[in-house]
Amino acid sequence: MKIETNKAVVRQFIKAINQQDFTQLDAVVSSEVVRHGSPPETYLKGLAELKEFLRGELEIFPDAYETIHFLIAEGEMVAAYLGFRGTQRGKLGPFSPSGKTLETDFMCIFRLKQARIVEVWALWDRLNALNQLGHLAINEST
């Protein structure tokens, strides 16, 4: 039963992000959450930093939407294979808005305690994303 509860918490987390209603995160994310990401600048500690990061992401991709392809859970861990779709309308690091749509898959691993997310590892293909957005020219035929 705990595994299904943990998966439901992750679903609520993704739903809150898609609805752009970060107050919903208070119910499913620990105030001491830690998010590990790459590059290291995306390491976050605390719910306030996570919300700030998500708001910043929406400034870049205001129409961002995440789709759950599947969730796998064991014990206190939930692995999520997710899809992302969003149009770059804001500055992404040194890159100006491209107006192009990014469609990519990525993975997150969540650790939960007492039905709250306490740790997240986010892994995605940045090179592919920058190429799709027109910030890199990669010849896919080679």
The model's pLDDT over 42-87, given as tens digits with 9 standing for 90+, comes to: 788 999 999 999 999 999 999 999 999 999 999 999 999 999 999 9
- The DSSP bridge partners found for residue 112 are 117
Q: pLDDT tens across 104-119, in order?
A: 999 999 999 999 999 9
CA dist., res. 26 & res. 32, Å (int): 11
Q: How far is it, in rounded angstroms, from Cα 92 to Cα 58?
A: 11
Through-space distance between the first and last CA atoms of the chain, rounded to whole angstroms = 48
Quick one: pLDDT at residue 139?
63
Adjacent-strand bridge partners of 120: 35, 110
75: which 2 tokens?
A: 């014990």
- At residue 96, φ and ψ (nearest 5 deg) are -65, 160
Is the pLDDT at 23 greater than 90, yes or no?
Answer: yes
Which option is the CATH number for 2-132: 3.20.20.60, 3.10.450.50, 3.40.50.300, 3.40.50.720? 3.10.450.50
Q: Is the dihedral of CA 69, 72, 104, 50 positive or negative?
A: positive
Q: Give the mean model confidence (pLDDT) for residues 23-31.
A: 97
